[in-house]
Structures are given as structure tokens and as C-alpha cells.
């Protein structure tokens, strides 16, 4: 508790009594206790061991258990835990719990106990610390069992369940979650709306457990149930956890769109809560953008834009930039120079799909001008194994994106060239179109009438068509017109076509 909190606590309980002689004695005692307490606080940074001794001396100065002794023990416990004196911390925590029944108010004791439990939860970095933390939780539950303080019971049990999850004790957490669910349900088995916030925290823990154990069936059931809870105003970190696990679930189903939506919501909630997990989830958001084959830059939104140049996200920024430019060499370079990206199992598991997409696009672009090539040539150009080149081409052929055959014996690929047949087909269509146009022009066009082939010989028809010869052909072809020249004769075919 801060100094301001201490002073506020004193001010609330200050009394005004006019029996000066008795007050002087009591006030003098309180001043000594207060001085000892604040003297210890000043020593915390420079000499924590001495500060612990000073804090532990505060309860002894009180005739009866009271606020100052409670505060002194609380400060001593935090310092002992910080210094790794776990046995001492647990011993003095047990002593502190004896104050909660009568020495301090219920609200003050509950708030203080929660603060201590939060403090040790954040500071538990090894097995000894976590074992001590479990001991704290057990002592708390034993102490408050008879006080009917349901809020503290729920909060402490939720912390204990989280401890089981952190050490992957799935048997213990399953049992604890069952107990917690029962405490937050009505008689008909439905969620109690008055305990909605606790229900969401319990769902978050259970969803995390199923995500870790790859039990997608149960994960999906709980995820959908958690999103239907409307009676609670949960901490944004809790919703961040639920949405993150939902995104991972959608990723396992290759539902990239819903995964992207969940990761964005998770990032937004983590960001609101000030959680460092927002950086990791932002990486997942970038990953799903590439898996969606989207051209939209994930850093263009108002929420993500401030992180575009964050050094912790720089590798993913470079990766998505190379992906959207189809720059396979830059993409591979970013991956090779940032091996730490693969330290996250989730990224390592899904980045292969992105890499495969990149290499497939690169192969298609590279083979476009060729009708025959070596697999080794493609592998060397893209700096990937020949076996993978063969796999990619096999997929493209089966998917009918490439028409060709792989000769595994000599490591070559022949692309079926249909260009000659396509050109011939185009010429036939063009010739047919021209023929149709000619028939239309010479049959129905204004000023034209096709001669009766039966009335003239083949030779005369040819002469008429090409403007050669005279005689009947010229007169017959040139003298039959419609429109303004009707009834008039022309000088021949040349005049018919060009005048």
C-alpha cells in the first residue's frame, strides 16, 4: 500500500476525544508505531533486509492486533518474496491472515489479500516461487472458508487454476475448473448472470487448456459459449485471451478470415489492457493476412499503425512487405535473418504455408517463358531443394495451373505447347468471320447484288471479281445496282468497288 493509502486509512479512523491524559499515552504509542513503519519504508530500496526486520517489529508495538501491524506484515511479506525468502514469506503470510477476522475491516483485508496474491503471481519466475504461491493460495482458502467471502474464494481459486495451467497440470486444473463452474451456475445448470465476470475468467482458463491440448471440439464449444455471455463487463485481458484462442482455433481449421478477425479483436483488447501479449498477437494478425493472400496492409488500421515501426514487430513488417511484392528472395532473407520468429511454436507451425505460397508463385513466374527446363535450374534460381520444386510443380499440374509432364528420370519438365493449335483455331475463326462479312456486303449491301452464277461462266465471274476482261461479265456485274444508281450503268467493277 502506498503512503497516501496509509494516510487515508488513518484519517478515516481518526477520533476526537477530550480526555487528554489518556489520549497522550495512546497517541504517543501510535506515533512510535507510525515512525517505525515509515522508517522501514524508507529503507526498502537501500537495505531491504534491514527494512524487513523493521517492518516485522511493527506488530510487536501494538497492544492488540490492528492496522499498523497488518501493514507491517504485508510489506515484510512482499520484500521476503522478492528476495527469495519463500519460507519466511509463507510463515508471515499465515500470521497476516489472523488479522482478517477482527483486526481490520472485511473490504480492506480482501483488497490487501488480493494485492498480495497479484504481487506474488507477477513475481513467480521459478518452481520454488510457484510452489510458494500455491502455498499462499491454500492458506488463503483455508482462512476464508469460514467467513463466507465468496468473492475472495472465487478469485483465489481462479488464481490457483491459472497456476495449474502454467505448470500444465491438466488433471488438477480440470478438477478445479469443474468446481468453479459449479459455483458460478444456477440450479438449472445455466450461467449465473450475477457472476458473469468470474464465468468469463473461468472460460478463458478452460479455453486456454483446450487450445494447449489441441482439443478443438471442446475449444469451439466453450469459445462460442463465452462469446454469448452478456451479463459481464470483463477485463479486456480476459477477452484478449478468449479471442486469441479463438483465432488459433480458426487457424487450425484454415478459416483465415475468422482467424484474422479474432486476432484483431484480441490485439485491440490486449492493447487496451496494456498487456505485452499484444505484440505476439499482432504477429499472428500479420501471419493470417499473408495466409489470406490479402493485398491489404495490416498496419494501415488506426489501432495497428502505431506499431508499424516497433522494433519488436520489424521482422513481421518486412516479411509481409516482401510477401505483398512477391519478392521471394527478400522473403527468404527476412526468415533467415530472424530465426527468433520460429521460437513461437504457433508461428513456426503456420509460416510453412506462407512460404509454400511464396515459392509456388515464384515457380510460376520463373517457368512462364519456357517449354522445357530442368528441375535443378528452378531450384538453383529460387534457392530451394529440387525435391520441393518437384512437389510444387506436381501440385500445379494436378491443379491444372500448369500443363506439362515431369520426367523424374532426367529431372526435366516439358510444358505442353498448344500455341500452334490455338493460332490455327484463331485463323479459322478469323477466316470464317471475313467470309461471313463478304457475303453480307455483296448480298445485302446497298448498291450491290451478287450475280447469278448459273447465268455466267466461272471465268467471267472471276474476271468480274478482279476487274479483268469485258463482255457480259462486266456489264452484268456492273449494271445491276440499287439506290441512287438504279437504272444506270457503271464503267466496270473498279467503279463499283471504289467510286
pLDDT-derived band at 472 (thresholds 50, 70, 90) equals: very low
What's the rounded mean pLDDT across residues 461-489? Answer: 41
Q: What is the pLDDT of residues 209-231, one digit of tens each?
A: 999 999 999 999 999 999 888 77
Lowest mean pLDDT among 262-266, 331-335, 471-475: 471-475
Q: What is the pLDDT of residues 354-373, one digit of tens each?
A: 999 999 999 999 998 888 88
SS3 478: helix
What's the rounded mean pLDDT across residues 202-212? Answer: 95
User: Ranked by mean pLDDT, which of 160-174, 225-239, 474-488 comes out on top?
Assistant: 160-174
Q: What is the pLDDT of residues 188-201, one digit of tens each?
A: 878 888 888 899 99
Whole-structure pTM value? 0.70
Residue 387: other Cβ atoms inside 10 A: 10
Instruction: Give long-range contacts, CB 8 A cutoff, 24+ apart: 26-34.
Output: 29/61, 29/63, 30/68, 32/61, 33/58, 33/61, 33/62, 33/68, 34/10, 34/68
CA dist 141 and 145 (Å) reads: 6
Work out whether strand 372-374 and strand 404-407 pair parallel, antiparallel, or are unpaired: unpaired
Asked if pLDDT for residue 473 goes beyond 60, the answer is no
pLDDT-derived band at 15 (thresholds 50, 70, 90) equals: very low
Asked if pLDDT for residue 91 goes beyond 80, the answer is yes
Take residue 436 and report the three cell numbers written for it: 461471313
Q: What local confidence, expressed as pLDDT, does residue 80 receive? A: 94
Work out whether strand 372-374 and strand 412-415 pair parallel, antiparallel, or are unpaired: antiparallel
What's the rounded mean pLDDT across residues 332-351? Answer: 91
Domain residue ranges in the chain: 1-147, 449-499
Q: What local confidence, expressed as pLDDT, does residue 399 receive? A: 86
Q: What local confidence, expressed as pLDDT, does residue 284 receive? A: 96
Lowest mean pLDDT among 64-78, 308-322, 456-470, 476-490: 476-490
Topology of the domain covering 1-147: 1.25.40
Amino acid at each position: 500500500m502506498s503512503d497516501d493509502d496509509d494516510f487515508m486509512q488513518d484519517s478515516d479512523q481518526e477520533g476526537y476525544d477530550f480526555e487528554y491524559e489518556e489520549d497522550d499515552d495512546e497517541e504517543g504509542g501510535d506515533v512510535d508505531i507510525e515512525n517505525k513503519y515509515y522508517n522501514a519504508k524508507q529503507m526498502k530500496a537501500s537495505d531491504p533486509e534491514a527494512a524487513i526486520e523493521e517492518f516485522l517489529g511493527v506488530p510487536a508495538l501494538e497492544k492488540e492486533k490492528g492496522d499498523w501491524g497488518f501493514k507491517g506484515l504485508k510489506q515484510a511479506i512482499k520484500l521476503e518474496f522478492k528476495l527469495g525468502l519463500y519460507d519466511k514469506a509463507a510463515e508471515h503470510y499465515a500470521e497476516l491472515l489472523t488479522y482478517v477476522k477482527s483486526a481490520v475491516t472485511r473490504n480492506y483485508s480482501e483488497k490487501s489479500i488480493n494485492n498480495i496474491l497479484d504481487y506474488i503471481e507477477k513475481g513467480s519466475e521459478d518452481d520454488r516461487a510457484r510452489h510458494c504461491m500455491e502455498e499462499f493460495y491454500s492458506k488463503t482458502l483455508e482462512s476464508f472458508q469460514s467467513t463466507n467471502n465468496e468473492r475472495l474464494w472465487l478469485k483465489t481459486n481462479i488464481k490457483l487454476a491459472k497456476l495449474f495451467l502454467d505448470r500444465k497440470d491438466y488433471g488438477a486444473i480440470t478438477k478445479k475448473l469443474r468446481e468453479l463452474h459449479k459455483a458460478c451456475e444456477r440450479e438449472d445448470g445455466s450461467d449465473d448472470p450475477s457472476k458473469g465476470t468470474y464465468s468469463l475468467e473461468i472460460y478463458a482458463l478452460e479455453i486456454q487448456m483446450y487450445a494447449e491440448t489441441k482439443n478443438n471440439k471442446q475449444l469451439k464449444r466453450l469459445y462460442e459459449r463465452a462469446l454469448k455471455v452478456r451479463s459481464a463487463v470483463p477485463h479486456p485481458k480476459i477477452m484478449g485471451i478468449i479471442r486469441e484462442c479463438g483465432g488459433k482455433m480458426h487457424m487450425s481449421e484454415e478459416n483465415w478470415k475468422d482467424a484474422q478477425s479474432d486476432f484483431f479483436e484480441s490485439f485491440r483488447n490486449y492493447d487496451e489492457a496494456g498487456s505485452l501479449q499484444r505484440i505476439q498477437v499482432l504477429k499472428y494478425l500479420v501471419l493470417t493476412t499473408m495466409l489470406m493472400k490479402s493485398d491489404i496492409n495490416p498496419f494501415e488500421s488506426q489501432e495497428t499503425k502505431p506499431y508499424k515501426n516497433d522494433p519488436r514487430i520489424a521482422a513481421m513488417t518486412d516479411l509481409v512487405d516482401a510477401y505483398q511484392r512477391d519478392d521471394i528472395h527478400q522473403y527468404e532473407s527476412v526468415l533467415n535473418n530472424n530465426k527468433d520468429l520460429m521460437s513461437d511454436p504457433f508461428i513456426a507451425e503456420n509460416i510453412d504455408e506462407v512460404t509454400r505460397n511464396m515459392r509456388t508463385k515464384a515457380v510460376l513466374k520463373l517457368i512462364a517463358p519456357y517449354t522445357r527446363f530442368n528441375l535443378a535450374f528452378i531450384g538453383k534460381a529460387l534457392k530451394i531443394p529440387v525435391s520441393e520444386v518437384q512437389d510444387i510443380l506436381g501440385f500445379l499440374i494436378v491443379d491444372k495451373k500448369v500443363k506439362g509432364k515431369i520426367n523424374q528420370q532426367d529431372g526435366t519438365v516439358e510444358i505442353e505447347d498448344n500455341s500452334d493449335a490455338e493460332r490455327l483455331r484463331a485463323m479459322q475463326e478469323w477466316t470464317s468471320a471475313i467470309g461471313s462479312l463478304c457475303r453480307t456486303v455483296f448480298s445485302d449491301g446497298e448498291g450491290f447484288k451478287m450475280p447469278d452464277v448459273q447465268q455466267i461462266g466461272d471465268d467471267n465471274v472471276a474476271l468480274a471479281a478482279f476487274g479483268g476482261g469485258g463482255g457480259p461479265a462486266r456489264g452484268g456485274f456492273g449494271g445491276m445496282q440499287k439506290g441512287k444508281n438504279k437504272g444506270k450503268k457503271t464503267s466496270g467493277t473498279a467503279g463499283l468497288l471504289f467510286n
